[in-house]
Structure 1
């Protein structure tokens, strides 16, 4: 077992709490839940609506993954948190299907919550795997 690597991504989203963008151990990468903030304007208002916020969160996940040499194709598990589950679930699923092709979609759990940091509508955390892990 290797010692964990704690990653903070230069130019990545500004953390909303004391955490690392990602922690890596034994080929697995645990990415902290990303918010719909703009890394280039972290104090700007959040995008309006679930579609815009979901796209921004996915872009932030891309930024974090790229910062450690990975991409969305390396995701094996995602957890999604929605503050208005019944209103936003279908819109989230539509974006998810556009983002991940059939046959390459990560395992996923989606839960409704009563609040998120910054009053966001959506947050996504994930687990990725290095392609050379275990070889």
Structure 2
């Protein structure tokens, strides 16, 4: 599944969450894997209502990131950087941080940027994308 060092590989994963726009789940090149922002949709029930609240939505987004990484033979331990988007930044930032933090060991937190936005696809409260690196 790894891309040669001199090519880009576009991953659209049948087991991944249903895309909400025209994109690949991930693009890989030179050992780097860039994941599209994940939404709090349930891959097993993509038309189901979103989970209620930022904590539940953050957990679902992180599980979706874990799912995509897993399909590529990676895990959250390979994540180098995350970009996080919150529609209710001031209201949700602290609760988001607590939930997000629970997915990483304290000594292996990825670099991160968190941005407040006016809206996200599917009416989500949170979206996260990330960059991972293959070991080796």
**What interval of TM-score do these two structures reach, taking the shorter chain for normalisation?**
over 0.9
TM-score by length of 1: 0.96
Q: 1:8-47 counterparts in 2 under 5 A?
A: 8-47=12-51
Aligned length: 132
Separation in 2, partners of 1:64, 1:3: 20
Tell me if 1:65 matches 2:69.
yes
Q: Distance in 2 between matches of 1:122 and 1:112?
A: 9
Separation in structure 1 between the aligned mates of residue 30 and residue 110 of structure 2, nearest angstrom: 19
Show CA shifts across 1:48-107 (max 9, x none). 000100000000001100010000000000000000000110011111221111110000
> What runs of 5+ residues in structure 2 fail to find an aligned partner?
none
Q: Note the residue ranges of structure 1 that are not aligned, 5 or more in a row.
A: none
Query: What is the distance in 2 between the residues matched to 1:99 and 1:60?
Result: 12
What do you get for the CA RMSD once the two structures are aligned?
A: 0.7
1:118 corresponds in structure 2 to: 122
TM-score (norm 2): 0.95
In structure 2, how many angstroms separate the alpha carbons of the residues matched to 1:88 and 1:13?
A: 24
Q: Which runs of 4+ in 1 moved over 3 A?
A: none
Deviation, 1:116, is: 0.2
Q: Equivalents in 1 of 2:103, 2:39: separation in Å?
A: 17
- State how 1:49-60 maps to structure 2 within 5 Å: 49-60=53-64
**Does 1:90 find its partner at 2:105?**
no
How much has 1:8 moved relative to structure 2?
Answer: 1.0
